[in-house]
Structure 1
Amino acid sequence: MTDSATWTRVDDGCFELDLLTASYRRHAFTRHAHATFAIGVVVSGQEEFHYRGELRRAGVGSLAILEPDEPHDGRAAAEEGWSYRVLYPSEDMLLDGHPIRPTFPDPIVHDPRTVHLVRAAHEELTAGTDPLAGHSKLAWAFQAVVHRHGLAGRASSGAPPPRASDRAAVRKVTQVRERLLADLRRPPNLRALAAAVDLSPFHMLRVFREATGFPPHTWLVLERVCQARHLLAAGLSPVQTADAVGFADQAHLTRWFKRVTGVTPAAYRNSVQDRMRRPA
């Protein structure tokens, strides 16, 4: 098996959804997180990844359900590598009106029925020949994921509300994130970030990492990669994208982009643009 990966973006006016079809033997994903859910089916081999403090393994027929903003990595668990199909739905898309966001305490589940629905939806949407069929299969797949494997969210679990000090820390982390996002190309330095939320630099680093799983500089780089995906899908070149999101140059973008997505920026752009150029 040689490493190969193709990204597909569905953006047809009904929703926007990224899909990954990949086989990896040597590639290892750096520790990162997604703004969306990541729902994948392993079709051959076995993958392993660290998630919520444990090493997890997903083999053939496994369904992986990773929640937004949860740090994880990924690599082959055996010499032969692994192949999988992954969907990256937003919270609104996955829940589709569900009143409370469910949680998924076990990231690896074994459920042939749901695996079949997820894989069928992925294959239909990737082929792109019948949008109605693709939308229908996706709705059935997400319904199965939520209702068969989601548990009632924190709001209905009876857990005590967060302390005032915890809420204050969350607000400060949100403010730091907003300041970093305000200008990806020229972010404030550590001292300025901390001063803006009335914390010492070391205290700010601690609460930020506790809340996000990453120090601010790593979180910013991962956010740049996320924004780069949108710009490349819109048709910008890797050089233009690197400059727009604050990477030093195209090589810097390429190194991080491949560590997070498994493909180079050019390969990602070509995959998405090829899909958009298909005749209706």
Structure 2
Amino acid sequence: MSTEGTGTDADGLARSCDADPSWMRFGPAAPGLERAEVRLRDCAFEPHRHDVYAIGVTTSGVQTFTYRGERRVCLPGQVHVLHPDETHDGAQGTDEGFGYRILYIAPELVRDALGRRPLPFVPDPVQDPSLTTGIVATLLADIDEPVDDLAAASLTAAVADCLLALSGAAAPRQAPIDVAAVEAVRRHLAERAPEHTSAATLEAIAGCDRWTLARQFRRTYGTSPDRYRVQRRLALARAAIAGGASLARAAADAGFADQSHLTRHFRRTYGFTPARWRDLQAPAVG
């Protein structure tokens, strides 16, 4: 197998893998963005390299890999950062195997999100859990989440800022928040929550690029534009369910991809599935 591949880790996976305890799955992708979840036991990656940043979090076991001439160890909760065109392999550090989730992001997206400044260089490929690396863990918590261009902009800005912080470079000076512009975006998202509003539409409303908007929106409202839209959709779905709508109809009318998409967000936000929440709202009999 060639070690010159520039795709994701599937390109460098040794063909001798035992298929039973090892698996790999990919979530919905977007241009320049791909996410995967991997579990390996009695299986190893051959030396290979990508043309993208690979940023992952170990979820179980002990992950080891050779990178820049040294053997590295990444434990559960730790984040690993692999730069474009850097050769690496991957293997289990114990008999139990290991698991991880990973994000592949094109360097041109990172550069655009950082205002065309040079790509950040992270000297230590293994990072301990921190507020900064926690951003990566949060972004990878649900790789099944669809990624439209609005979500992609928020994700890219967060990852670019994370890489910059881990590189030790000084963060760019934050421009004053254009309160009127950000409020106009918030109002648009609230009034049109079920719609698939594009990042380009919000750029036109705000008068700035999508990455600046994502940062200013978070500084103003404590969340991303995409997440704010999800919360408005959940409120619409709750009202529809309370009014007797089926779960599938409530999901569709609120703008979710399907009922399972609604269920994932509903459980994460309220601690119950929509069905359980509906049943708890039912009046007691007798």
TM-score normalised per structure 1 = 0.49
Name the larger-Rg structure.
2
Report 1 or 2 for greater relative contact order, CA contacts < 8 Å, sequence distance ≥ 6.
1
More helix by share: 1
